Structure 1
Amino acid sequence: MQLSARSFVRCLAWLLPAVTLSPVSSSAQTATAEQVTAALAKLEQLANAAIADGSVPGLAIGVVHHDKVVFLRGFGTREAGEPEKVDADTVFQIASMSKPISATVVAALVSDGVVSWDSKISDLDPAFRLADAYPTSQLTVRDLFSHRSGLPGTSGDDLEDIGYDRAEILRRLRFVSPSSSFRAGYSYSNFGLTAGAVAAAKPTGKPWEAIAEEKLYRPLGMTSTSSRHADFVTHANRAALHVKADGAWAARVERRPDAQAPAGGVSSTVRDLAKWLRLELANGSHDGKQLIAAAALDQTHMPLMTRGKNPVSGGQSFYGLGWNVEFGRHGLSWGHAGAFSVGARSLVTLFPERRLGIVILANAFPTGVPEGLSDSFADLVFQGKVDKDWLTDWNAIYAGMFGPAVAAAQATYATLPSPATPARPATAYAGRYANDFVGEAVVAAAGDDLVLTLGPDGAKSYPLSHFDRDMFLSFPSPELPDMPSAVSFVIGADGTASTITIEALDGNGLGTLRRTRE
């Protein structure tokens, strides 16, 4: 199970969209060709320095100004320790930066009259359910793209971690209790947005991946862009995912995000993404042709949900439809970032009033390089100098993101209770357990140990090590192999376990499964 299923989403819910900065008037700030050119020279120096000091193995940057691509460059290597270089055509997995791209795809469907942003999900996809009847009957595409459905942010991520496909994950969202009243709270949800995108594509009779290609990638000539992981791995020129191992970047884990493709499954290059930036900054026009009606696209950039004060800058932030909307140090901006905790980072920032945009892709996590470079670039363009060392500050934020959580988990289970109570015989725990959300879990003896098997057809297996009496530990996170997670049993009157609670799946209170009697 990846950490993204629980604490990762909570940590990144604020950081994934572009960062809010203190509001000031943008009227005095310009972005002339000369200012952008001067800033690009210094941006290139900063990017080279980030590679040289090991902040990331590789990254790529694209910049658009006044409907022209003014910068496309790769830096570093596709995989640490290997010679192949990143260039403008290296394909990266862009994680949650997929969300504004998917919003553009739905805007194209709205432009064509296939759906509206206020189409009800119950009309588009009658099988989809939330936990409560009223939200289910009123839920719209707009609600799901603005994260105001009431679904808790981590809903479904845990099911993806243990191997369920998109259709089954979306079906099981009906078992998740809401975290807020309908339309009353913002909760950043990968599978909520995925449900909205899938429903919007339903009237076409085609899968989401085909619609994204038909409505956006192909018309813009984004020939290296896809919402299918199978397409990503066909590219020889692709970036590996990297995490830190013993202080060095290592390509260890593959991330297959097909289940949440609209929210996190796009792969692309900065060359392709620069074409998308041009479309956004030109209000749906591309090379003189109006591909998407401006009115349909404008809706994605309207602030709908307040997210309160940004913990980094203290400024106010809003969410539109797949986009973060900011009123910051350099005026209005639209943006979004992405991250896979197994090794990807991405960021897009657009200044629509200046027709200026930057996209940055990196092949590592944790790192704040995209934010650091983007903030530095904006400072250089709008005021001719960098206000502060953004790279250092952002790297520190991301580097410390999971440290406290890992340390707390390790501390909790570092010392056995004294006196420790031995486990019961394996037969007390072995058996099948189930609930509607998680499905079936099987606990089986493996020599003197226990193994927990989860997911469809037992897709995932985790050894259990005894901690105390009826509590065991697993280490389910591939990118944080030293982070323990509890698996606890309740013993019934017959001396065998009646329930099992899997801490790693209990973020929304659905991690307790009852023994099934065969």
Structure 2
Amino acid sequence: MQLSARSFVRRCLIWLLPAIALAPLPASAQTVTAEQVTAALVKLEQLAEATIADGGVPALAIGVVHDDKVVFLKGFGVREAGKAEKVDADTVFQIASMSKPISATVVAALVSDGIMSWDSKISDLDPAFRLAGPYPTSELTVRDLFSHRSGLPGTAGDDLEEIGYDRAEILRRLRFVSPSSSFRAGYSYSNFGLTEGAVAAAKPMGKAWETIAEDKLYRPLGMASTSSRHADFLGRVNRAALHIKDNGAWTAKVERWPDAQAPAGGVSSTVRDLVQWLRLELANGSHDGKRLIAAAALDQTHVPLMARGLNPVSGGQSFYGLGWNVEFGRHGLSWGHAGAFSVGARSLVTLFPKQQVGIVILANGFPTGVPEGLSDSFADLVFTGKVAKDWVKDWDAIYAGLFGPAVAAAKATYATPPSPATPALSGEAYAGRYTNDFVGDAVVTASADGLVLKVGPDGAKSYPLRHFDRDLFLSLPYAELPDMPAAVSFETGPGGKASAVTIESLDGNGLGTLRRVAD
């Protein structure tokens, strides 16, 4: 299996997305006063304004709660770089993987209502779903999928989403993916594993997940601008565009349609809405004096189930619960989760349940560590009155180090063809239809302009191929990295025709080799 640079980036993000930078020091029982929070907010606002002024991100929106009160709501910067419209507390952002703890809250509401339990078997809720083996398939529960311990590799299904398959087809094809660990023995952060857990939990209701999320969480909390449908996001006038760096400048040039993995990454919301969710979490399922979710059902989401390894900034141990990251750090117990789209979204939520403090930060740029840096700075200010270090700088370095070298390595690999390069065979030798169970069909066509590869349902994605050496060609399949190449290599036999093709951008789990279908 050849691991593409983009697969490497994605696997590194799998660690970072739930991460919160907390050092492994003894938990604090410190009480946080309103005066401490007020003083911290003055400095947090200054840090946010400085971040925007320095070009750290195009925009930020920040919400803070303390003792069941909303104490801060503010936007900074612009919705789209180069345009005048400002971000405010009602600007809708795509929040990427911060959708996971929100979805865990929705499922907790279903558990609270007795619709199902965290230990309900997927085989009972959604009998059509399969993993690669019969034993894990028969024993798999909602708890397993929300804690990422099913054995599904972390990136399984993400590649199919990128070439246009819908949710139902992606979930069906997960049965062809070999496990990355034994069942319940390893942690592997899976977008489509959690998506299946949410979809299965909603099955007894006979409604779509998106509707269940509205009924059980968004409407009861008055989250009028929140949705799990991308069409709703596009319908908002006050919405933040996604941004990536182009020649060092923030540019809005790529869109991300996350409907296929809506429970794991498809929520869009505002900080005004999200602080109501923070209040619900910190109040153990109550909101404005009314019990909405049984504490016993919601508490389960915050129990540390899986060790995730060392935090990349602090070096401390981190754990995962059900859709939540659980940390025991220098400021005591915290719950949190981050979100990122490599096409331009960042988000972070951090809750300190014992001190009844929570912060949510939304940004419209990637790569950046600004949300983590500001959250850690705020925690320092609340608990100690001063920022211990430049957290934004440290977290920015993590994201820059993650993204830049991997992309540079991919470009360097194919920067210069061999000299002399071995000529390709004729176009007809490679043209044809190739297939496997996971990717489906790939069609290669030949013309005077060269080869073109089409993949996805009805050839949804089309990539011209540039010859590199003999049977090795290059494609440019990454929308957010338009100049980063990926290999498309053919296997040729004695008959003078290609018998198979390996598509690097689809080979992250060793399923990118497709065999030719007889002419």
Instruction: For 1:185-264, list aligned pairs within 5 A.
Output: 185-264=186-265
Partner residue, 1:59: 60
- 1:468 equivalent to 2:472? Answer no
* Inter-partner Cα distance in structure 1 for 2:302 and 2:167: 27
Amino-acid identity (%): 81
Partner residue, 2:33: 32
* Inter-partner Cα distance in structure 2 for 1:47 and 1:20: 18
Runs ≥4 in structure 1, deviation > 6 angstroms?
Answer: none
Partner residue, 1:161: 162
* Inter-partner Cα distance in structure 1 for 2:385 and 2:84: 35
Residue aligned with 1:71, SS: strand
Deviation per CA, 1:113-134: give whole Å up to 9, x if none: 0010000000000000000000
Partner residue, 2:175: 174
Task: State whether residues 20 and 316 of structure 1, in contact with CA within 8 Å, keep that contact through their aligned partners in structure 2.
Answer: no
- 1:50 equivalent to 2:51? Answer yes
Partner residue, 1:328: 329
Partner residue, 1:457: 458
* Inter-partner Cα distance in structure 2 for 1:330 and 1:482: 43
Task: State whether residues 497 and 515 of structure 1, in contact with CA within 8 Å, keep that contact through their aligned partners in structure 2.
Answer: yes
Partner residue, 1:365: 366
Residue aligned with 2:22, SS: coil
* Inter-partner Cα distance in structure 2 for 1:434 and 1:27: 57
* Inter-partner Cα distance in structure 2 for 1:258 and 1:478: 17
**Counterpart of 1:244 in structure 2: which amino acid?**
K
Partner residue, 1:481: 482
Instruction: For 1:232-381, list aligned pairs within 5 A.
Output: 232-381=233-382
Question: TM-score under structure 2 normalisation?
Answer: 0.98
* Inter-partner Cα distance in structure 2 for 1:41 and 1:435: 57
Report which stretch shifted further, 491-500 or 88-97: 491-500
Residue aligned with 1:335, SS: strand
Q: 1:27 to 1:471 in 2, by over 3 A?
A: closer
* Inter-partner Cα distance in structure 1 for 2:471 and 2:38: 64
Q: 1:138 to 1:170 in 2, by over 3 A?
A: same
Partner residue, 1:503: 504
Partner residue, 2:71: 70
* Inter-partner Cα distance in structure 2 for 1:491 and 1:312: 47
Task: State whether residues 271 and 360 of structure 2, in contact with CA within 8 Å, keep that contact through their aligned partners in structure 1.
Answer: yes
* Inter-partner Cα distance in structure 1 for 2:266 and 2:497: 42
Partner residue, 2:120: 119
**Counterpart of 1:387 in structure 2: which amino acid?**
A
Task: State whether residues 88 and 270 of structure 1, in contact with CA within 8 Å, keep that contact through their aligned partners in structure 2.
Answer: yes
* Inter-partner Cα distance in structure 1 for 2:307 and 2:191: 18
Residue aligned with 1:295, SS: helix
Residue aligned with 1:401, SS: helix
**Counterpart of 2:68 in structure 1: which amino acid?**
D
Task: State whether residues 429 and 497 of structure 1, in contact with CA within 8 Å, keep that contact through their aligned partners in structure 2.
Answer: yes
**Counterpart of 1:250 in structure 2: which amino acid?**
T
The alpha-carbon deviation at position 6 of structure 1 amounts to 2.2
Partner residue, 1:404: 405
Q: 1:258 to 1:343 in 2, by over 3 A?
A: same
* Inter-partner Cα distance in structure 2 for 1:156 and 1:28: 42
Q: CA RMSD in A?
A: 1.1
Report which stretch shifted further, 408-417 or 296-305: 408-417
Partner residue, 2:441: 440
* Inter-partner Cα distance in structure 1 for 2:280 and 2:500: 54
Deviation per CA, 1:147-205: give whole Å up to 9, x if none: 00000000000000000000000000000000000000000000000000000000000
Q: What residue ranges of structure 1 are gaps of 5+ in the alignment? A: none
Task: State whether residues 28 and 330 of structure 2, in contact with CA within 8 Å, keep that contact through their aligned partners in structure 1.
Answer: no
* Inter-partner Cα distance in structure 1 for 2:111 and 2:5: 31
Task: State whether residues 442 and 455 of structure 2, in contact with CA within 8 Å, keep that contact through their aligned partners in structure 1.
Answer: yes
- 1:389 equivalent to 2:390? Answer yes
Residue aligned with 2:219, SS: helix
The alpha-carbon deviation at position 493 of structure 1 amounts to 2.1
Deviation per CA, 1:466-512: give whole Å up to 9, x if none: 00000000111111122111000011221110000001111111000
* Inter-partner Cα distance in structure 2 for 1:9 and 1:331: 30
The alpha-carbon deviation at position 96 of structure 1 amounts to 0.1
Task: State whether residues 20 and 327 of structure 1, in contact with CA within 8 Å, keep that contact through their aligned partners in structure 2.
Answer: no
Deviation per CA, 1:56-112: give whole Å up to 9, x if none: 011100000000000000000000010000000000000000000000000000000
Instruction: For 1:11-30, list aligned pairs within 5 A.
Output: 11-30=12-31
Partner residue, 2:432: 431
Report which stretch shifted further, 7-16 or 315-324: 7-16
Deviation per CA, 1:259-285: give whole Å up to 9, x if none: 000000000000000000000000000
Task: State whether residues 367 and 403 of structure 2, in contact with CA within 8 Å, keep that contact through their aligned partners in structure 1.
Answer: no
- 1:41 equivalent to 2:42? Answer yes
* Inter-partner Cα distance in structure 1 for 2:313 and 2:28: 25
Residue aligned with 2:434, SS: strand
The alpha-carbon deviation at position 446 of structure 1 amounts to 3.3
Question: TM-score under structure 1 normalisation?
Answer: 0.98
Question: How many aligned positions are there?
Answer: 516
